[in-house]
Amino acid sequence: MTIDESTLDHLARLARLRIEPADRGGLMADLAALTGLVGRLAAVDTAGVEPLSHPGDLTLRLAPDVVTEGDRADALLALSEAAQGGYYTVPKVIE
């Protein structure tokens, strides 16, 4: 299918990716080609087939309700470029 400007903008907004004007044309062409590739699936007859999300017969294993991780705020916040006073920070969000 063709990926138009507004579709590209919509996807970029959902994915929080800034796209440089110079890249737009190439990306639209690539996405058109790729959606064409994956669009071939439409031709496969899957009537009555249950979707498969996980390979094999895996079912979920659960953890006991025991606290195993303590205070590691210092180590975690040290990874951030914008930690301040024990918090992560981002530019002010207005609700």
Subset of 19-48 contacting another protein (CB under 8 A): 19-20, 23, 27, 30-31, 33-35, 37-42, 44, 46
Residue 4 found at the interface with another protein (CB under 8 A): no
Binding mask 55-84 for another protein (x = CB under 8 A): xx-xxxxxxxxxxxx-xxx-xxx-xxxx-x
Tell me which of 4, 5, 10, 25 binds another protein, using CB under 8 A: 10
Q: What are residue 84's DSSP bridge partners? A: 87
Q: Is 6 in the site for another protein (CB under 8 A)?
A: no
Name the minimum Å distance from CB 25 to another protein: 13
Cα–Cα nearest to 34, from 60, 13, 3: 3
Query: By the 8 A CB rule, do 38 and 73 touch?
Result: no
Q: Does 2 bind another protein (CB under 8 A)?
A: no
Using an 8 Å Cβ cutoff, are 88 and 77 in contact? Answer: yes
Long-range contacts of range 18-21, CB-CB < 8 Å, 24 or more positions apart? Answer: none
